[in-house]
């Protein structure tokens, strides 16, 4: 196998010093004449040289790499967030390393150490167990995804899950539903109760009873939705509407309803939260709350770039509004 060309090979081919080549490929060609730049670029193309960003990072204290650490790469919510991040970072010459913790606090901490050990320039994280203090002690610029109150020292970007839940419940209420159940995604790691708290607040505000058996805690997965629907279908009286913590759970519930002989929305209205792509492809199409996933990623990436460049000061909390999406899995309650 032919050895990869080195920066020394490029320097010899172009008839310049190694430091000149280094300035051309890593430092914006500062202090290098246009004629010399052309010689170096021609040598790079001829030899097929590729700049080693990690080696360059040891000299410049920059790797032009950031990490995106998320709990579940299988959740369809995250690809659109990641796309927003990558589009911004691509424009600025940064690469994105994806780290899937799989809801493991240990893996999350290991990823943090990996980022520090390899000199990554920044981290975007949707935290499971890693603490505010651990992120501070890492010394790496960081932006938190999700509106957790547990990270006061960091910029935070997300959508308002509490408000989204209230909007969904209010929509079902306006359709005439009073017996509304919640398929609540089971918190893993750091508890996240925004949807549950919003549900309790809503029922109290409208002076409605909420029997404990109408709140079913399920995994954040398709199977969780199926399990929850089977439990709710056995209740007497049965709820007339169900709100799921996210669309994946809602779609699982929809599939279970079909096997149970329940017609959505005639027998039971069903809503999700997130507006993943699959929500518009189900039969019936799923009513949901659209969370601005791409914008969350885009905004978080811009904040991280400011942190990396040292152009921001006090931590910022940005909540991007969600939007109600009315589709055919919900209907007005007759009678």
Q: pLDDT tens-digit profile of 131-182?
A: 999 999 988 999 999 998 899 999 999 998 899 999 999 999 999 999 999 9
Mean pLDDT value across residues 314-319: 94
In a shared domain, residues 222 and 267: yes
Q: 20 falls in which pLDDT band (50, 70, 90)?
A: confident
2 belongs to a structural domain: no
Among 305, 302, 331, residue whose Cα is nearest residue 318: 302
Can you give the CATH number for the domain in which 97 is found?
3.40.50.2300
Residue 286 per-residue DSSP state: P
- Same domain, yes or no: 155 and 168: no
In a domain, 44, yes or no: yes
pLDDT bracket for residue 2 (50, 70, 90): low
**What is the reported pLDDT for 307?**
94
Joined tokens for residue 273: 């939260």
* Count of other CB atoms within 10 angstroms of residue 189: 15
Q: What single-letter DSSP state applies at residue 158?
A: E
pLDDT averaged over the chain? Answer: 90
Do 178 and 85 share a structural domain? Answer: no
Question: If you average pLDDT over residues 203-207, what whole number do you get?
Answer: 92
Instruction: Tell me what pLDDT residue 329 has.
Output: 98
The verdict on 205 and 284 lying in the same domain is yes
Answer whether residue 230 is part of any domain. Answer: yes
Per-residue pLDDT, 265: 97
Per-residue pLDDT at 315: 94
> Is the domain of 137 the same as that of 227?
no
From residue 247, how far is each of 97, 130, 244 by CA, in Å?
26, 26, 7
Q: Is the confidence at residue 187, as pLDDT, over 90?
A: no
Kindly state whether residues 283 and 166 are assigned to the same domain.
Answer: yes
Could you tell me the residue range of the domain that residue 227 belongs to?
161-291
pLDDT of residue 99: 95
pLDDT at 71 over 50: yes
CATH number, domain at 27? 1.10.260.40
Residues 181 and 230 in one domain: yes
Report yes or no: 110 and 93 within 8 Å, Cβ to Cβ: no
Nearest to 143 by CA among 330, 306, 16: 306
Task: For residue 21, give Cα distances in angstroms to 11, 25, 63.
Answer: 6, 6, 18
pLDDT score of 104 more than 80? yes
Q: Are residues 189 and 119 in the same domain?
A: no
Provide the domain count of the chain. Answer: 3
- Given the structure tokens 């500062």, which residue do they identify? 30
Percent of the chain with pLDDT over 70: 92
**57 within domain boundaries:** no
Cross-strand bridge partners of residue 270:
242
Residue 33 has pLDDT above 90, yes or no: no
pLDDT, position 58: 46
Q: Are residues 96 and 112 in the same domain?
A: yes
285 and 171 co-located in one domain: yes
Q: How confident is the model at residue 122 (pLDDT cuts 50, 70, 90)?
A: very high
Does 59 reside within a domain?
no
Q: Answer yes or no: do 17 and 35 share one domain.
A: yes
Question: 206 with 281, same domain?
Answer: yes
* pLDDT reported for residue 189: 60
In a domain, 276, yes or no: yes
Instruction: Give the span between the Cα atoms of 126 and 262, in whole angstroms.
Output: 36
Q: Is residue 23 part of a domain?
A: yes
Least confident of 55-59, 216-220, 234-238, 252-256: 55-59
Instruction: Identify whether 175 is part of a domain.
Output: yes
């Amino acid at each position: 196998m032919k050895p990869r060309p080195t920066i020394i090979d490029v320097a010899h081919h172009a008839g310049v010093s190694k430091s000149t080549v280094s300035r051309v490929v890593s430092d914006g060609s500062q202090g290098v004449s246009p004629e010399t730049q052309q010689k170096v670029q021609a040598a790079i193309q001829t030899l097929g040289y590729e700049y080693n960003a990690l080696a360059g990072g040891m000299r410049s204290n920059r790797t032009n790499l950031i990490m995106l650490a998320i709990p579940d790469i299988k959740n369809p919510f995250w690809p659109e967030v990641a796309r927003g991040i990558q589009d911004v970072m691509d424009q600025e010459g940064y690469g994105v390393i994806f780290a899937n913790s799989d809801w493991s606090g240990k893996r999350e901490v290991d990823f943090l150490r990996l980022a520090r050990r390899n000199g990554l320039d920044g981290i975007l994280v949707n935290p499971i167990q890693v603490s505010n203090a651990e992120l501070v002690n890492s010394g790496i610029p960081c932006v938190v995804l999700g509106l957790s109150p547990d990270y006061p020292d960091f910029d935070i970007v997300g959508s308002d899950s509490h408000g989204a839940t209230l909007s969904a419940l209010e929509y079902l209420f306006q359709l005439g539903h009073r017996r509304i159940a919640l398929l609540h995604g089971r918190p893993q790691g750091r508890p996240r109760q925004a949807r549950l708290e919003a549900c309790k607040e809503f029922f109290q505000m409208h002076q409605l009873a909420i029997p404990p058996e109408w709140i079913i805690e399920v995994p954040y997965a398709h199977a969780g939705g199926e399990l929850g629907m089977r439990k709710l279908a056995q209740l007497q009286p049965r709820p007339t509407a169900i709100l799921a913590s996210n669309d994946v759970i809602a779609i699982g519930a929809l599939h279970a309803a079909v096997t149970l002989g329940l017609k959505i929305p005639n027998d039971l209205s069903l809503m999700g939260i997130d507006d993943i792509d699959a929500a518009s492809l189900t039969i019936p199409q799923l009513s949901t709350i659209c969370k601005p996933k791409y914008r969350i990623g885009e905004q978080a990436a811009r904040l991280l770039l400011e942190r990396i460049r040292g152009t921001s000061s006090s931590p910022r909390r940005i909540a991007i509004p969600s939007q109600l999406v009315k589709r055919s899995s919900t209907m007005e309650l007759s009678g």
